[in-house]
Each structure stands twice: as structure tokens, then as C-alpha cells.
């Protein structure tokens, strides 16, 4: 196939997907207040073609289509509603948090229309044009595919258990049963688990080509959790119940606890999926002497753990700054029933070493540049904000999880702390890795393939989606 | 390389500055004159702009450092730039600027929300850097040719220093490991290790192999597993030509020769068994230095048990289950302790051997065994071994050995089919052949920097070298403990000489010594503190497990030890062809000589 052919295919796929995404956005969301229908058509067509031209090459799987779509939507949200639309129309500046808040419905609309729909539809259309559709369908019906569906389902069930525990406590199951016109908690619970399993299986289908390490898979899961928070309780469910989409700021605020639930679900989903996948590989693929790496997984992993612990010193100390400032050390000390700040510091450093060790283990070969390492570190820091102060810490202290918007906002400094922790740890880890293998520093290719390359996977899109939403959503949802 | 780094920095500055300008411009349009204050914290707009631009240039340089090699596509550049923008915003707007303004880090949600305009600004700025830097980079490489060194294809190697290490024991391997670390990434230095075994043997656990507690392979690590850059040659060094600076080798048997040239030569060929001219011993005794030795001995001992079990004649049976170890140093005492455990522990399988017929005898020329240990510990060892059934012939030498018997200096004759010789070592004869300055025992003498006397580019350590001990003033004892410390100093010194830095003198005070005497019994003297019994045994296991090279082997040995706790000793014979009885063997040798 000639180059211009592929270019044309990309433009056409982009155009069609853009029109469809724009239609979804236009029919449910608040339309752009400044444009008429004709403008809209042009805008949607342009957005779609732009996607095809700029990002089409990177969309190799449905999963990458989804993530690049969402990143693309976020970028447009900032460029359009926050910057140029008000600017063009001579309206007051859009870079304030108030303006961003009032553009919240558009954010969700963009994520659904110009993100999920555009990206997914584009990925299938371009495959269709490229003629690989049938090949893809056939290929999909292989053992590989079924395997991905199966472990995806299992992983979804595990995530669903964690999310379900919270749902049980706040009595949400009868509400879910409402989807099938019932009020019984049992029906709701069953439905919840069915949905969890189906979403888990779809995770396997979407991302199985991109998932390489456990670390990135957790991040994928996190992004997927975000996606389903927007798609599920705010879009599909209310539509199903005939309420119309719930993209307002108030609805977003009310659904915040469910956001945390979705994120925990996604984290577990990504973790379990890739852990089973890895285990399978280690046992049945990499155990083949012809494919085995010179050092077995045992040596590699332990070294990664050691380096992670060492690296966590940097992160742990960076975080201590905010702990001291917010008087959080005594709270940490209370984890082991003490109250002195010194004990708190020690406990904090131990926790930070454990998390550093897991960073080393999970993100062992995700990054081959310092920058990529930093980005993964930020993502991992974010994961631990949801997992730590909002979830595990209260549970360990014998209280309920703290998923309410108010407690999340109260814990916002700790979010910044976690991000600082993650980036410092990851950077230090990367320095150690490069030091251990000086040939890496020189970027020699043979060695670089030794590390997994995250390019070719939508990792960069993932960073944008996860980090921007993670950092911004709490800001937008404040009153 | 330098041009490359400089151009990266320049490109980074250009990308950073342009992105900073766009950010400042947009922010100024959208939020008015306050913008510069938001970005830099400065009151004065002009000062603010300058500070902001300096920071932006910095952010461009950092981006260039962080994302090297550059992302594969513009979109990935853009996306990574956005992530980078977020980080930069966190660093500047939430931390540095408020700290400089004396407000401290601003991490509360309200404060962060009020920094929102800067967030959007930095997202733009990051996006432009992420998009712009790779594009600039591409343009520049298009005009100026590739900035990176060619990655593929053979590169001309400018080798300036060839370091050759003879011997793959503790000394040689440790030197090479340190050198790899010191010269990491320097392609002008090439290291070659030559050894006639393809593995490093962890000698302290050798007696456990004979005793069947640990598998033979588990205490040795392939030399090739240690190194990343060092070339390993399995071959036997035969001579060194110091004029031409080459080592002459036999690679695949006596017929094939090779030469390896060197700029620096490290001698670490270790020691060989010394029979002190006792021809009988040389012909009939087992030696105990290599993996092969341990395996042969083990198979032979099992063979003796099998034969004894089938033997009707009590005298002959006694001879079969009499085991003599000559030499009561560490190696001999450890071996006799292990053998004793193995033989007595396996009798359960051999109902026809009466336990009282079994004897293990340690012949030692001194008055007490293990002269390296202090009196009461040696005494303890003696008592424990005796208690477990070992007999001692002290102040006695081996006078001769013939098939089926050994003769002692006190005139006694012991009927036995098994004699193990651990009574003497001497530096490898290759050292003497080289004609270097040596001490009376044949070890090559070195100065305190481990240089061979009179040869500036030849170095020696380990059992083959007489290295002055700065604490005792005598020669360092031939132990692995000293060999690895010497190796570290030696590597440092070679590195220093090549780099034109200062060399270091070797100085190490022995930590002490350990001997394991069989089941859960050991004695130790560490810096004068004495341990014995179970505690010493645990210490022994813990310390040597840590020292055993590679994690894999540590795990394997731990498993072996664990299995050994719960199951009987393994008496599988892995070979029956060698030395099944010495009589037969001796005849064969006599035939061969003719
Ligand atoms: C049974 C036993 C138990 C021991 N226990 C202890 C202990 O508990 N603690 C302790 O500190 N020490 C112990 N030692 C002593 C320790 O093993 C030695 O001090 C140490 O091995 C010396 O290291 P080296 O590198 O100098 O020599 P070696 O380890 O002997 O290595 C010499 C190397 O050179 C190679 N080589 C020899 N000739 C040539 C040639 N011509 N060409 C190429 N290669 C050649 C050999 O194959 C070998 O790999 C023990 C020794 C024995 C035998």
C-alpha cells in the first residue's frame, strides 16, 4: 500500500470517527454555546481529520485508540473551551479555575465524544480500511484472545470485589438493581459483578497488545477506571434510566466516591491482569531455555527491589517535607499505635521503602529515559494517593475508607506529596539503573532493547490522561 | 560526544525559550499584567519576564536531558511534554516560587486551585517544548548530520590497554569484577581472564560436597556468568614472554597453542598440592582442591561402602571402611569431620557393615590440629571430632603409601583403601617457571601495591603471591579472605596507573577463621572472640552463604541444606570408572609408564 493511500485512509477514518464522536457529544452534551450547527460539522470534521493525521500512526490497537483519543480530547478541552473559544469571542479569560469549572460538562463530553468514541471508532475504521479487519477478527478468535478475555474477567472480578465492598457498605446495590427495574440488593450485587467481569474482559481485549509490565498495566487500569467512571455512572447508566447524561459539575461532585471506587477497581484490574499474564509468561514462555534471559527472573527482580528501596530514600525524604508541614507524622505513627513524630518518620520511611521496592519490581523495565521514568513515577505516586491516605490507611486505622470529596480535598496536599515522592523515587531509580548498566547511558541499541520500550504503546497518552485528570479533577470539583 | 552534548543544550535552550515566550504571551493576554508575577513571583514585570525566561531555558535543557533519546513521534513528544509541564508547574508554582516569596510550599487545595492559570500555562509550555525540541533536533540532524554516534555497524575499537588476568579463582575473578566496575563503559580498556577451569570454586564448602550435604555444581559458578565485558578464555597458561608481553596458552589440549598479549598482567594462578616428594602419596592419595577431587572422593567412598557391604572377610572389610586423611589443617579437619558424618550416617543403608569396624583417621605432623586457631579452640575441635568417632595420629607423619596401606613415621601400618592428602600446598609451579623473584616457598614476591618486584606491569595476588602483611610483617596467609581483599586493591591500583592517579597500599587485618567440623559443630575465632558449637556453626553457614557468589547458587545451597535436614544422605554413585580401588589403579599406572 502506498503512503498516500494510508494517509487518505487515516483522514477518512478520522473524518468519519470525528463526525460520529461529534454527534455523540452534540446530542448529549451541552453544545458549544458559541457555534451553530454548520460550525459544528466543520469542527467535528476537523477534529477527526486532525486525529487521523497527527495520531493515526500511533493507533495500532483499540486500546491505543482509546487512550490517544482521551489524551486528544483533553488537549482540545484546554485549547478550545479554556483558551481559544473565549478568546475568539472576547469573553473573560478561561485559565481560571472558575472558568474551568464551568467548562466541566464539556470536559466530560469531550472525553466521551472526542475521546472514547472517536478513538475507538477510529481504531476499528482504520483497521477496516487497511484491510486487516478480517485478519484481525480471525486473529482475535485465537487462544491468545480467549486467554485475555478469561484473565481479564478474573481480574475484573477481583477489582469488583474491592469496589463492591464499599458499595455494600453505602447501600448502593438497590440503586444498581434499578437498571433492571428491581430494588433488590441481591440483583444489584449480581449485576455489579457481571459488569465488573465484562469490563475486566474488555480490558483484556483492548489492551492485551500493549501490556508489557505490571507497572504500566496498573496505569492502564487506572485510566480505564477513569473512563468507566465517565461512561458508567455519569453517562450510560443515567441514559439507560432515561435521565439523560449527568455531566454537570454537581453530578461529578456527587459521584466522587464512585470515582475513587472505579480507580481502585482499575488499579486492581490492571494489577491482577498483568500479574497473571506475567506469571504465565514466566512459567510457560520465558522458561523456554531458548528464550530465557541470561539472568533468570529471580536475580533481576531482587536487584530491582534493592534499587527501588535505595531510590525510595530520595522520594521518602521529599515527602517528609509535607508531612512535617501538615503535621501528618503523628498520624502515620498511629499506624503502629504510637504518636511521636520521630516514630512517624521511621514508619513513613519504612512504608516508603516498601512502596519503592514495589516501584522497582513493577516498573522494572518500563522506562528507558529519565523522562519516562519520571512520568511513571508520577503515575505511581497518584495510584498510592488513592490507595494510601484514602483507602488503606483509614482501613488500617480501623475506620471507613475516605472516598468522599471532602476528605479527598482535605488530603490534597498529600496528593502533591505522593507525586513528589513518585517522581523523586523514579528519577533516583532510573539513575541507579543507568549506573548499573552504563551502556544504557550511551543509548546503545542492543542494550536498549533489553529494557522494554514504552514507545509503540500509548504510554505517553496514558501519562497525559492519568496525570491531568488526577491533578485537575479534585481542583475542578471543589466548591 | 562533546559536540553532541553542546548541541543538545543549545537546542534545549531554544525550545525552552520559545515555549516560555508563548506561555508568557498567552498568560499576559488572558490574565493581564499580573502574568509575570504568576510565573516568576517577581513584582516588576520586566524582572519577572527575565526570571521566567531563564527558568524556561533551564526547563528546555532539562527536557533534553530527560528525554534522550527523543520520543519516536511528534505525538509522543507532545504528550510527554504535557506531563513534563505538569511537573514543572508543581515544582515552580507550588514550591519554588512560594518558598522564595517566603510563603512555604503551597499544597493545600485552595492554594493549588489559585495556581490554576499557571497550570494551563505550563501545560502549553510543556507541550511546545515536547513538540518543538524533537522537531528542532530532527532539523539540526538533517542539516548537520547525525548528532549521535553511529549506533549500528562495527565501530573501530581504539584499544589502548589490555589487561590479562591469569587464574579464575577468588583472586582473578574478584580483580576482573572490580576492573569492570572501575572501567565501566570505557572501550579503550579490554580485559581477558584466562583460566584452566571454567568455574570459580567456592572452596570453603568443598567438604560439604564430599559429605553429600551440597551438590557439587551448587558451590561453583561459571566464570562466564560473572562478567559483562571481560573476555573469558578457558586455557592453560604455559609461559609468559615478558619482552613481547604475551602469555602463551594451551587452549584445547597440548596440541593447540595460542598467544594473548597484555599491557598489564595479573597473576592469580593459586596453589597446587605439595607432596613433599613422597612418591607413594602422589601415586595413591586423593587430593582435595577441586570439584573433581571432591566428586571422585565421594564416589570412591560410596564404592568402598558398597564393597564392604558385600565383603565376607572382616579384615578386608575393615580396610575398605578405613579412611585416612593426612594433614590436620583447616581443609583436613573439615574434610574428616564431613566424611565421618557421611560414612557413619550412611551405614543405615549398609546393614552388613558393623559400625565398630568403621574408622576415620586424621594424621597430623603437629602436636595439635588446626595450628591457625588458638589452643582452646583447637582442643575443642579435637574433642568434638574424637567424640564423633574420628581417631587422631598426632606428631606423626605419613612415611609412605602403597596399594592397600599407608605407613606412618612411627612405624605403624594402617590397612586402608582411602588416603586423602591435604598436608601441603605450594604456589603454582608456573610461577617458578616464569623466573620472577620469589620467596623460598616458590611464591612470587610483590610490594605493598601488589606489583611484582622488578616488573612494573606485572601484578600478583592470592595463593601464588607472597604479599607482605602490614599487620604481622610476614607473608599474608593463603586464604580466600585475603585473596579477595588483595584483588580490590589490585584493581584500584591498575585503574590508578592507567588513569595516572595514586596507587594504594594493601592493608588488611584478618577477620579471623572458621572451621566447620561436621553436623552442627563449628569453631570460629573472629577478631579474637571465640565461638564454638551450634552458634559458630550457624555463623559459619550465614557468613559463607552470603559470600557464596551469585544469588542463584545461594538459593540452591539453601535448598540443599534444607533438604538435608529432612531426608537421608544421597548415596548415588555418579561414576564408578575412576579409582574404584587403588590397587587396580596403581597397576594401570605402572602399565602406562611402560
Ligand atoms: C578445601 C579448602 C577449603 C578452604 N577453606 C577456606 C576458607 O574457609 N576460608 C578461606 O579464606 N580460604 C579457604 N581456602 C583457601 C582458598 O581456597 C584459597 O586461599 C583461595 O582459593 C586462593 O585464591 P586464588 O585465586 O589465589 O587461587 P585459586 O582459587 O586456587 O585459583 C587459581 C585459579 O587459577 C587457575 N589456574 C591455575 N593454573 C593455571 C594456568 N596455568 N593457566 C590458567 N589458569 C590456571 C585455576 O584453575 C584456578 O581457577 C580453602 C581451600 C581449600 C582447598
Per-residue pLDDT reduced to its tens digit, B478-503: 999 999 999 999 999 999 999 999 99
Residue B478: CB within 6 Å of ligand 1? yes
Residue B333 confidence (pLDDT) above 60: yes
Asked if B71 reaches chain A (Cβ–Cβ under 8 Å), the answer is: yes
Whole-number Å distance, alpha carbon A187 to ligand 1 midpoint, is: 73
> What pairs with residue B218 in β-bridges?
none
Residue B76: CB within 6 Å of ligand 1? no
Mutate to test the interface with B, among A372, A460, A470 (most CBs of B within 10 A): A460
Chain A residues closer than 8 Å to B63 by CB = 371
Name the nearest CA neighbour of B384 among B544, B212, B545, B537: B537
B394 shares a domain with B469: no
Strands B257-261 and B246-250, by their bridges, are: antiparallel
Determine the residue of B178, B233, B270 to mutate for testing ligand 1's pocket, defined as the one with the most ligand atoms within 8 A of the Cβ atom.
B270
Q: Of the candidates B67, B116, B550, which has its C-beta nearest A97's C-beta?
A: B116
Q: Is residue B291 part of a domain?
A: yes
Domain spans of chain A, in order of start: 3-137, 142-282, 295-442
**What does the alpha-carbon distance between residue B256 and residue B184 come to, in Å, rounded to a whole number?**
33
Residue B176: CB within 6 Å of ligand 1? no
Residue that the C-alpha cell 600478583 belongs to:
B460
Least Cα separation, residue A116 to chain B (angstroms) = 17
End-to-end CA distance of chain B: 68
Of ligand 1's listed atoms, the one at least distance from the Cα of B269 is 34
The stretches in chain A having pLDDT less than 50 are: 1, 441-453
B543 shares a domain with B434: no
**What does the alpha-carbon distance between residue A437 and residue A458 come to, in Å, rounded to a whole number?**
26
Whole-number Å distance, alpha carbon A226 to ligand 1 midpoint, is: 61
Q: Is residue B507 part of a domain?
A: no
Q: Of the candidates B73, B110, B120, which has its C-beta nearest A78's C-beta?
A: B120
DSSP alpha helix (H) spans, B347-458? 375-387, 429-433
Assign 3-class secondary structure to B59-106: HHHHHHHHCCCCCCCHHHHHHHHHHHHHHHHHHHHHHHHHHHCCCCCC
ipTM of the complex: 0.91
**What does the alpha-carbon distance between residue A470 and residue A334 come to, in Å, rounded to a whole number?**
28
Q: Of the candidates B30, B127, B152, which has its C-beta nearest A93's C-beta?
A: B30
B35 shares a domain with B106: yes
Name the nearest CA neighbour of B482 among B470, B494, B498, B493: B470
**What does the alpha-carbon distance between residue A205 and residue A63 come to, in Å, rounded to a whole number?**
8
Residue B210: CB within 6 Å of ligand 1? no
SS3 A297: helix
Residue B140 confidence (pLDDT) above 80: yes
Chain B residues closer than 8 Å to A321 by CB = 105
Counted residue by residue, chain B has a size of 594
- Looking up residue B359, the CATH number of its domain turns out to be 3.50.50.100
Its sign, for the CA torsion B85, B86, B92, B98, is: positive
Residue B589 confidence (pLDDT) above 70: no
pLDDT at A442: 47
pLDDT at A31: 64
CB contact under 8 A, A299 and B552: yes
Chain A residues closer than 8 Å to B68 by CB = 369-370, 443
CB contact under 8 A, A474 and B555: no
- Counting the structural domains of chain B, the total is 3
What pLDDT digit, counting tens, does each position of B241-275 carry? 999 999 999 988 788 888 999 999 999 999 999 99
Q: Residue B146: pLDDT band by 50, 70, 90 thresholds?
A: low
**What does the alpha-carbon distance between residue B411 and residue A68 come to, in Å, rounded to a whole number?**
92
Q: Is residue B214 part of a domain?
A: no
pLDDT at A458: 86
Atom 27 of ligand 1, nearest CA residue: B270
Q: Of the candidates B29, B66, B148, which has its C-beta nearest A369's C-beta?
A: B66
Q: Residue B591: pLDDT band by 50, 70, 90 thresholds?
A: very low
Whole-number Å distance, alpha carbon B201 to ligand 1 midpoint, is: 8
Of ligand 1's listed atoms, the one at least distance from the Cα of B170 is 25
Asked if B439 reaches chain A (Cβ–Cβ under 8 Å), the answer is: no
B264 shares a domain with B183: yes
Chain A residue with minimum CA distance to B32: A93
Residue B425: CB within 6 Å of ligand 1? no
Residue that the C-alpha cell 572472640 belongs to:
B529
Atom 8 of ligand 1, nearest CA residue: B204
**What does the alpha-carbon distance between residue A353 and residue A361 come to, in Å, rounded to a whole number?**
12
Q: Are A393 and A335 in contact (CB under 8 A)?
A: yes
Query: CB-hemisphere CA count at 13 Å for A10?
Result: 19
CB contact under 8 A, A55 and B75: yes
* DSSP summary character for residue B217: G
Least Cα separation, residue A399 to chain B (angstroms) = 24
What pLDDT digit, counting tens, does each position of B529-587 carry? 998 989 999 999 999 999 999 888 999 999 999 998 888 888 999 887 655 455 444 44
- CA separation, residue B350 to residues B321, B520, B581 (Å): 12, 24, 19
CB contact under 8 A, B73 and A461: no
pLDDT at B383: 94
**What does the alpha-carbon distance between residue B173 and residue B488 come to, in Å, rounded to a whole number?**
10
Residue B460: CB within 6 Å of ligand 1? no
Q: Cα–Cα–Cα angle for B140, B144, B146, nearest 5°?
A: 85
CB contact under 8 A, B185 and A442: yes
- CA separation, residue A345 to residues A127, B18, B65, B97 (Å): 54, 43, 33, 27
Which range of residues forms the domain containing residue B40?
Answer: 8-144
Name the nearest CA neighbour of B571 among B352, B351, B342: B342
CB contact under 8 A, A460 and B29: no
Least Cα separation, residue A182 to chain B (angstroms) = 40
Q: Is residue B216 part of a domain?
A: no
Q: Of the candidates A57, A413, A460, which has its C-beta nearest B107's C-beta?
A: A413
pLDDT at A457: 80
Q: Which of B471, B499, B527 is the last residue of a domain?
A: B499
Cis peptide before B129 (omega within 30 of 0): no
**What does the alpha-carbon distance between residue A315 and residue A307 come to, in Å, rounded to a whole number?**
13
CB atoms within 10 A of CB A325: 14
Determine the residue of B165, B166, B167 to mutate for testing ligand 1's pocket, defined as the one with the most ligand atoms within 8 A of the Cβ atom.
B167
Q: Are B112 and A475 in contact (CB under 8 A)?
A: yes
pLDDT at A5: 66
Atom 44 of ligand 1, nearest CA residue: B195
CB contact under 8 A, A75 and B82: yes
**What does the alpha-carbon distance between residue B218 and residue B199 come to, in Å, rounded to a whole number?**
11
Q: Is residue B535 part of a domain?
A: yes
Q: Are B71 and B82 in contact (CB under 8 A)?
A: no
H/E element, B233: strand B231-234
Q: Of the candidates B76, B105, B123, which has its C-beta nearest A322's C-beta?
A: B105
B409 shares a domain with B311: yes
CB contact under 8 A, A370 and B72: no
Which cell is B28 given? Answer: 499576559
Q: Is residue B151 part of a domain?
A: no
Chain B residue with minimum CA distance to A77: B120
pLDDT at B586: 46
Q: Is residue B2 part of a domain?
A: no
What pLDDT digit, counting tens, does each position of B344-369 carry? 999 999 999 999 999 999 999 999 99
Of ligand 1's listed atoms, the one at least distance from the Cα of B271 is 30
B476 shares a domain with B439: yes
Which cell is A377 given? Answer: 513515577
Whole-number Å distance, alpha carbon B423 to ligand 1 midpoint, is: 16
What pLDDT digit, counting tens, does each position of A8-64 carry? 889 999 999 999 999 888 887 766 666 777 788 888 999 999 999 999 888 988 899
Chain A residues closer than 8 Å to B152 by CB = 445
Asked if B126 reaches chain A (Cβ–Cβ under 8 Å), the answer is: no
Q: What residue ranges in B327-409 does DSSP mark as E strands?
A: 359-363, 390-393, 398-402, 405-408
Whole-number Å distance, alpha carbon B272 to ligand 1 midpoint, is: 9
Residue B171: CB within 6 Å of ligand 1? yes
What pLDDT digit, counting tens, does each position of B429-457 carry? 999 999 888 888 899 999 999 999 999 99
Which cell is B93 given? Answer: 508554582
Output the pTM of the full model: 0.79
Name the nearest CA neighbour of A430 among A209, A210, A215: A215
Q: Which of B:4-33 have CB within 8 Å of A?
A: 26-27, 29-31
Provide the CA A123 distance to its chain's centre, in angstroms. Answer: 19
Q: Are B256 and B241 in contact (CB under 8 A)?
A: no
Chain B residue with minimum CA distance to A470: B86
Atom 52 of ligand 1, nearest CA residue: B203
Atom 14 of ligand 1, nearest CA residue: B479
Amino acid at each position: 500500500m502506498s503512503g498516500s493511500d494510508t494517509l487518505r485512509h487515516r483522514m477518512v477514518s478520522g473524518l468519519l470517527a470525528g463526525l460520529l464522536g461529534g454527534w455523540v457529544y452534540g446530542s448529549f452534551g451541552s453544545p458549544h454555546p458559541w457555534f451553530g450547527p454548520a460550525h459544528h460539522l466543520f469542527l467535528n470534521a476537523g477534529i477527526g481529520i486532525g486525529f487521523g493525521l497527527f495520531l493515526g500512526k500511533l493507533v495500532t490497537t483499540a486500546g491505543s485508540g482509546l487512550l490517544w483519543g482521551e489524551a486528544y480530547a483533553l488537549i482540545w478541552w484546554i485549547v478550545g473551551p479554556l483558551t481559544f473559544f473565549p478568546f475568539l469571542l472576547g469573553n473573560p479569560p478561561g485559565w481560571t479555575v472558575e472558568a474551568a469549572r464551568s467548562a466541566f460538562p464539556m470536559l466530560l463530553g469531550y472525553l466521551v465524544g472526542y475521546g472514547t468514541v472517536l478513538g475507538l471508532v477510529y481504531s476499528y475504521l482504520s483497521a477496516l480500511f487497511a484491510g486487516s479487519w478480517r485478519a484481525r477478527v480471525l486473529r482475535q478468535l485465537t487462544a491468545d484472545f480467549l486467554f485475555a478475555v478469561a484473565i481479564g474477567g478474573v481480574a475484573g472480578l477481583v477489582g469488583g470485589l474491592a469496589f463492591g465492598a464499599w458499595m455494600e457498605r453505602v447501600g448502593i446495590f438497590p440503586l444498581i438493581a434499578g437498571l433492571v427495574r428491581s430494588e433488590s440488593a441481591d440483583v444489584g450485587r449480581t449485576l455489579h459483578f457481571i459488569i465488573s467481569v465484562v469490563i475486566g474482559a474488555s480490558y483484556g481485549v483492548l489492551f492485551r497488545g500493549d501490556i508489557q509490565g505490571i507497572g504500566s498495566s496498573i496505569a492502564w487500569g487506572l485510566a480505564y477506571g477513569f473512563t468507566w467512571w465517565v461512561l458508567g455512572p455519569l453517562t450510560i447508566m443515567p441514559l439507560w434510566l432515561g435521565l439523560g447524561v449527568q455531566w454537570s459539575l454537581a453530578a461529578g461532585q456527587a459521584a466522587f466516591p464512585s470515582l475513587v471506587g472505579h480507580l481502585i477497581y482499575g488499579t486492581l484490574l490492571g494489577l491482577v491482569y498483568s500479574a497473571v499474564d506475567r506469571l504465565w509468561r514466566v512459567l510457560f514462555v520465558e522458561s523456554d531455555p531458548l528464550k530465557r534471559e541470561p539472568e533468570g527472573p529471580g536475580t533481576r527482580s531482587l536487584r530491582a527491589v534493592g534499587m527501588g528501596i535505595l531510590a525510595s530514600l530520595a522520594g521518602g525524604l521529599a515527602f517528609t517535607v509535607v508531612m512535617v508541614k501538615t503535621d501528618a507524622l503523628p498520624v502515620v505513627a498511629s499506624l503502629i499505635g504510637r504518636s511521636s513524630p520521630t516514630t512517624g518518620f521511621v514508619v513513613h520511611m519504612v512504608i516508603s521503602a516498601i512502596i519503592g521496592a514495589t516501584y522497582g519490581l513493577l516498573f522494572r523495565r518500563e522506562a528507558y529515559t529519565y523522562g519516562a521514568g519520571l512520568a511513571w513515577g508520577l503515575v505511581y505516586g497518584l495510584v498510592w494517593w488513592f490507595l494510601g491516605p484514602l483507602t488503606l490507611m483509614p482501613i488500617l486505622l480501623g475506620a471507613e475508607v475516605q472516598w468522599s470529596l471532602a476528605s479527598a480535598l482535605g488530603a490534597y496536599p498529600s496528593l502533591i506529596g505522593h507525586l513528589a515522592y513518585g517522581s523523586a523515587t523514579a528519577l533516583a531509580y532510573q539513575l541507579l539503573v543507568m549506573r548499573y548498566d552504563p551502556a544504557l547511558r550511551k543509548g546503545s541499541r542492543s542494550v536498549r532493547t533489553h529494557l522494554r520500550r514504552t514507545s509503540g504503546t500509548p504510554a505517553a497518552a496514558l501519562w497525559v490522561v492519568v496525570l491531568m485528570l488526577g491533578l485537575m479533577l479534585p481542583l475542578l470539583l471543589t466548591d | 560526544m562533546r559536540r553532541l552534548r553542546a548541541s543538545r543544550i543549545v537546542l534545549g535552550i531554544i525550545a525552552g525559550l520559545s515555549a516560555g515566550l508563548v506561555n508568557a504571551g498567552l498568560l499576559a493576554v488572558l490574565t493581564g499584567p499580573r502574568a509575570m508575577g504568576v510565573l516568576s513571583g517577581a513584582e516588576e514585570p520586566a524582572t519577572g519576564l527575565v526570571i521566567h525566561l531563564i527558568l524556561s531555558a533551564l526547563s528546555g535543557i532539562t527536557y533534553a536531558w530527560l528525554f534522550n533519546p527523543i520520543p519516536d513521534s511528534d505525538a509522543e513528544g507532545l504528550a510527554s511534554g504535557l506531563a513534563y509541564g505538569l511537573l514543572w508547574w508543581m515544582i515552580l508554582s507550588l514550591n519554588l516560587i512560594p518558598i522564595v516569596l517566603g510563603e512555604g510550599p503551597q499544597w493545600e487545595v485552595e492554594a493549588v486551585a489559585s495556581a490554576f492559570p499557571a497550570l494551563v500555562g505550563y501545560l502549553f509550555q510543556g507541550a511546545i517544548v515536547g513538540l518543538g525540541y524533537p522537531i528542532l533536533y530532527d532539523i539540526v540532524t538533517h542539516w548537520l548530520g547525525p548528532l549521535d554516534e553511529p549506533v549500528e555497524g562495527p565501530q573501530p575499537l581504539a584499544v589502548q590497554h589490555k589487561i590479562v588476568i591469569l587464574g579464575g579463582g577468588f583472586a582473578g575473578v574478584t580483580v576482573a569484577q572490580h576492573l569492570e566496575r572501575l572501567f565501566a563503559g570505557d572501550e579503550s580498556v579490554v580485559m581477558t581472564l584466562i583460566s584452566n577451569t571454567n568455574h570459580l570454586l567456592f572452596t570453603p564448602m568443598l567438604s560439604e560436597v564430599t559429605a553429600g550435604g551440597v551438590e557439587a555444581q551448587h558451590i561453583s559458578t561459571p566464570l562466564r556468568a560473572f562478567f559483562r565485558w571481560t573476555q573469558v578464555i578457558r586455557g592453560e597458561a604455559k609461559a609468559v614472554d615478558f619482552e613481547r608481553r604475551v602469555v602463551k596458552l594451551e587452549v584445547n589440549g597440548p596440541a593447540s597453542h595460542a598467544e594473548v598479549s597484555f599491557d598489564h598482567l595479573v597473576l592469580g594462578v593459586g596453589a597446587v598440592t605439595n607432596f613433599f616428594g613422597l612418591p607413594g602419596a602422589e601415586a595413591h592419595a586423593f587430593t582435595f582442591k577441586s570439584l573433581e577431587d571432591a566428586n571422585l572422593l565421594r564416589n570412591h567412598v560410596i564404592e568402598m561402602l558398597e564393597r564392604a557391604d558385600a565383603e565376607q572377610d572382616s579384615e578386608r572389610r575393615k580396610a575398605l571402611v578405613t579412611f585416612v586423611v593426612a594433614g590436620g589443617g583447616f581443609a583436613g579437619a573439615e574434610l574428616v569431620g564431613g566424611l565421618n558424618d557421611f560414612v557413619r550416617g550412611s551405614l543405615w543403608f549398609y546393614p552388613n557393615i558393623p559400625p565398630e569396624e568403621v574408622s576415620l583417621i586424621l594424621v597430623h605432623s603437629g602436636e595439635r590440629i588446626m595450628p591457625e586457631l588458638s589452643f582452646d579452640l583447637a582442643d575443642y575441635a579435637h574433642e568434638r571430632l574424637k567424640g564423633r568417632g574420628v581417631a587422631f595420629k598426632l606428631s606423626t607423619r605419613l612415611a609412605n603409601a602403597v596399594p592397600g596401606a599407608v605407613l606412618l613415621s612411627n612405624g605403624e601400618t594402617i590397612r586402608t583403601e582411602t588416603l586423602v592428602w591435604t598436608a601441603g600446598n605450594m604456589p603454582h609451579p608456573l610461577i617458578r617457571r616464569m623466573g620472577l623473584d620469589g620467596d623460598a616457598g616458590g611464591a612470587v614476591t610483590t610490594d605493598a601495591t601488589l606489583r611484582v618486584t622488578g616488573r612494573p606491569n606485572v601484578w600478583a595476588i592470592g595463593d601464588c603471591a607472597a604479599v607482605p602483611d602490614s599487620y604481622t610483617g610476614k607473608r599474608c596467609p593463603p586464604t580466600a579472605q585475603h585473596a579477595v581483599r588483595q584483588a580490590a586493591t589490585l584493581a584500584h591500583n591498575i585503574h590508578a596507573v592507567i588513569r595516572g592517579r595514586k596507587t594504594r597500599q594493601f592493608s588488611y587485618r584478618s577477620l579471623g577463621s572458621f572451621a566447620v567440623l561436621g553436623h552442627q559443630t563449628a569453631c570460629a575465632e573472629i577478631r579474637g572472640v571465640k565461638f564454638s558449637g551450634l552458634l559458630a556453626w550457624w555463623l559459619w553457614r550465614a557468613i559463607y552463604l552470603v559470600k557464596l557468589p551469585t544469588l542463584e547458587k545461594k538459593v540452591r545451597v539453601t535448598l540443599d541444606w534444607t533438604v538435608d535436614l529432612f531426608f537421608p544422605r544421597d548415596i548415588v554413585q555418579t561414576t564408578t570408572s575412576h579409582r574404584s580401588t587403588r590397587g587396580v589403579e596403581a597397576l594401570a599406572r605402572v602399565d602406562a609408564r611402560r
